[in-house]
Amino acid sequence: MTTSMESILDALPRIRNEARSMQDIVLANLVAIGEVPAPYQHEEVRVRMMLERFSECGLQNCSTDATGNGLAILPGAEGKANIFLFSNVDTLADEHAEPSLAFRKDEIVGPFIGDNSMALAAMASLPILLERLQIRLKANIIVMGAVRMLGHGNLEGLSGFLNNSGMPVQYGLSLEGVQLGRLNYACLGQLLCDITVRLPEDYNWVQFGATGAIISMNDIISRINKIPLPRRPLTTIVFGMIRGGVSYRNIARETVLSFEVRSESADLLNQVAQQIKDITEDVAANSGVTVKFDIFARRAPGGLDISHPFVKQMRTIHTALELQSQLYSTTFALTSLIEKKIPALVLGLTTGTRRDDLPEMEEAVAIDPMWTGLAQLVGVLLAIDGGFCDVV
């Protein structure tokens, strides 16, 4: 079908124009999927809606697997290889929240629209775009809305598919709503952790000056923050969430800190984990509170080499689309694929922001860059299908 990488690059402007011409279809998919709430462990309704859209857009075998992922296949002409596209279905939204998208002239605003309704809408729209472009790949395309990916989900949906589907995957593409131009070819090692500080049963509630769980947690945070972290191998700690207490005047009985440790080095991750464990034990011993340190997810660093043809061709496609590839390691979705030795990249589909003027969960994504985002997706699918991403 496509004889050279040059012909793929030459076709990109036409692909982008065709993608732009189906704006209404892409955005309607975005509304249909993005306005269905999908909190962790309650993703069924969004998965059902997504499968409905997959089916209407011409995908086949639309179904859920044992983990609850929504899966569909666009059969290839030969069907000997499988290219795997996926994105997370779950969001960090409250179970009862009813997301509503607002359309502005140049952008769309809504909860978790960039993470990751946009990616799901792109997957649902892809078969129509390929049909309009009269492109039929040799390989099958497997698309999946993955459940239980975020937070305590710990990539469960993705691992479930890779471990149990029995479908060999030759290439993987993790789609993210934002940012267009990102090219994640490797992933950092990662620890997802909770620290829980809880007052003991016999705590003296009426003692004047009693400080409760928050002060002890503050001590822990201060000491974690003083752990020296090297820039090479790059290592960071992200304090993501803290919760505790019930009112202004009641002493907090329990406080929970959720955070992530990231590093390019597995050894460093282990060292930092040990230091944090020491801190929590020390605070528990000195303040009389109960401290529980839980590492509920541990992922090893890894990924493709920057010189891998998959990365190189993706950069070529970006350049042809006048995008500057943003090459950096990510912490998320590549892990499970890398463990299976499957070459995989993370791509962003449009530009987006989490601005001060938007509520905590709301994101804004730009409309016009979406067409470039879809063009890069079709471009890399053609490159994979043509064998231009294979290691020779």
Can the peptide bond before residue 140 be classed as cis, meaning omega within 30 degrees of 0? Answer: no
65 is a contact residue toward another protein (CB under 8 A):
no
Q: Which is nearer to another protein, 112 or 332 (CB)?
A: 112
In this chain, which of 24, 322, 356, 360 binds another protein, going by CB under 8 A? 24
Select the span of 20-28, 63-71, 81-89, 293-301 touching another protein (CB under 8 A): 20-28
Are 67 and 161 in contact by the 8 Å Cβ rule? The answer is yes
Evaluated on CA atoms 133, 139, 140, 142, the torsion sign reads negative
In this chain, which of 81, 92, 93, 101 binds another protein, going by CB under 8 A? 101
Question: Taking the complex as a whole, how short is the minimal distance between the CB of residue 59 and another protein, in angstroms?
Answer: 14
Cα–Cα distance for residue pair 149/31, rounded to 1 Å: 22
45 is a contact residue toward another protein (CB under 8 A):
no
102 is a contact residue toward another protein (CB under 8 A):
yes
| Beta strands 182-184; 326-327: pairing state | parallel
Question: Taking the complex as a whole, how short is the minimal distance between the CB of residue 369 and another protein, in angstroms?
Answer: 15
Q: Which is nearer to another protein, 20 or 138 (CB)?
A: 20
Q: Which is nearer to another protein, 108 or 192 (CB)?
A: 108
93 is a contact residue toward another protein (CB under 8 A):
no
Residue 279 in tokens: 């801190």
133 is a contact residue toward another protein (CB under 8 A):
no
Select the span of 28-36, 88-96, 163-171, 355-363 touching another protein (CB under 8 A): 28-36
Strand order in the sheet with 102-103: 102-103, 107-111, 362-366, 352-353
Q: Which is nearer to another protein, 27 or 221 (CB)?
A: 27
Q: What is the DSSP string of 213-267?
A: HHHHHHHHHHHHHTS---TTTTEEEEEEEEEE-SSSSSPPSEEEEEEEEEES-HH
In this chain, which of 14, 48, 80, 104 binds another protein, going by CB under 8 A? 104
Cα–Cα distance for residue pair 5/1, rounded to 1 Å: 12
Select the span of 69-77, 102-110, 158-166, 257-265 touching another protein (CB under 8 A): 102-110
28 is a contact residue toward another protein (CB under 8 A):
yes
Are 221 and 283 in contact by the 8 Å Cβ rule? The answer is no
Residues between 342 and 361 that touch another protein (CB under 8 A): none
Count of other CB atoms within 10 angstroms of residue 202: 7
Question: Taking the complex as a whole, how short is the minimal distance between the CB of residue 14 and another protein, in angstroms?
Answer: 19
Closest CA to 95 of 46, 147, 48, 40: 40
Cα 159 to the center of its chain, rounded Å: 14
260 is a contact residue toward another protein (CB under 8 A):
no
- Contacts with another protein, residue ranges (CB under 8 A): 22-25, 27-29, 31, 35, 56, 98, 100-105
